Amino acid sequence: MPLSETEVRAALREVKYPGFSRDIVSFGLVKSVNIHNGEVKVQLALATNDPNVPATIKSDAERVLRGIAGVQSAKVLIDIHAPPAGAGAGVGATQIPGIKHVIAVASGKGGVGKSTVAANLAVALEQTQAYVGLCDCDIYGPSISLMFGTRERPMATEENKIVPVEQYNLKLMSMGFLLDDTSPAILRGPMVTRYTQQFLRQVEWGELDYLVLDLPPGTGDIQLTIVQTVALSGAIIVTTPQEVALIDARKAATMFEKVNVPVLGLIENMSYFVSPSDGKRYEIFGSGGGEREAKRLRVPLLGQIPIDIATREAGDRGLPIVGEDRQSPVTAEFQKVAKQLRAALP
């Protein structure tokens, strides 16, 4: 039985994009397959500035192809394009119309306060007179609806686009607006991908200077969908000072590096605690971890956010601390981060 293109493509699904669990076929890299008398030639296309990525893919793909019964020789050609100027681009990523900059707020692990950072950062950016949106991309554990104190249900336009909820001059979208308080999002991978795409592409965001994406922790399907389809201006990695969190922060940073998304900087959350009784500073999770990791990654340490009771209480009440108390040291730190981002992404 002659060798078929279907068989070749099935074999290429074993080749993963470096740094990801997704294969080069599902990423859409395979552009053509030619088979002639046992000779297989595959044409790939990808956008990257990292020479190690195409070299690794070529080696892995040719090895897999040579393992197919009946293949006498295998050759993989790669058409390499530079990512679009001004935006980090994953494979096949495009810009969202009307939005100047899309910023991903990510973490390698849960429990580091990423959503608190994303919410307060969005408010701080709005306070610089920017037009800002915030998309809660954590489909399974949405929290933005709680942090902004609204259970309003999004409406739809005649063109079947979702109208984001507006609160404190921000445009918001979250699975929390679509579910009841006790209803879990019980979804398999393909449905999660679909909802993520809808939140980004089918929401009537309008004209925005910044769209902040609150990503779920880790490097799973949602992160892959976003970096594959949306041209990100950059990513911010949230961590806490201890080594166990920094290890996972490195994984998140490496993921963005693999798909040419610049890491704009690191934010060290829960950096320290100041006792309200005596003003003494306690570094509960250690000290200097964020600074050392930022130097290792060669990115700025954008801010060090302390553990703060008022910050937690403000989020529980539905108004991020940056909007509630402009005199708070936490507010000052987020405002510093916002100024740095405005300078980097005008």
pLDDT in tens, 141-172: 788 888 999 888 888 888 888 899 999 999 99
Q: Which of 54, 81, 108 is the last residue of a domain?
A: 81
Q: Same domain for 74 and 116? A: no
Judge whether 90 lies within some domain: no
Dihedral, CA atoms, 274, 282, 321, 117, nearest 10 degrees? Answer: 160
Task: Judge whether 273 and 284 are in contact, CB under 8 Å.
Answer: yes
What percent of the chain shows pLDDT beyond 70?
91
What is the reported pLDDT for 85?
45
CATH number where 47 lies: 3.30.300.130
Number of domains in the chain: 2
Q: Same domain for 142 and 69? A: no
Please state the pTM of the whole predicted model.
0.74
44, 145, 163 from 78: Cα distances, Å = 5, 44, 41
Helix axes 309-317, 114-126, angle to 10 degrees: 80
Q: Same domain for 63 and 136? A: no
**Domain containing 301: what range?**
99-344
Q: Same domain for 69 and 144? A: no
* Alpha helices by DSSP H, the chain: 5-12, 52-66, 114-126, 144-147, 189-201, 221-229, 243-258, 289-297, 309-317, 321-324, 329-344
pLDDT in tens, 19-62: 766 788 877 788 899 998 889 999 998 777 678 888 999 999 99
Average pLDDT, the chain: 85
Q: Same domain for 183 and 307? A: yes
Judge whether 94 lies within some domain: no
What is the reported pLDDT for 140?
78
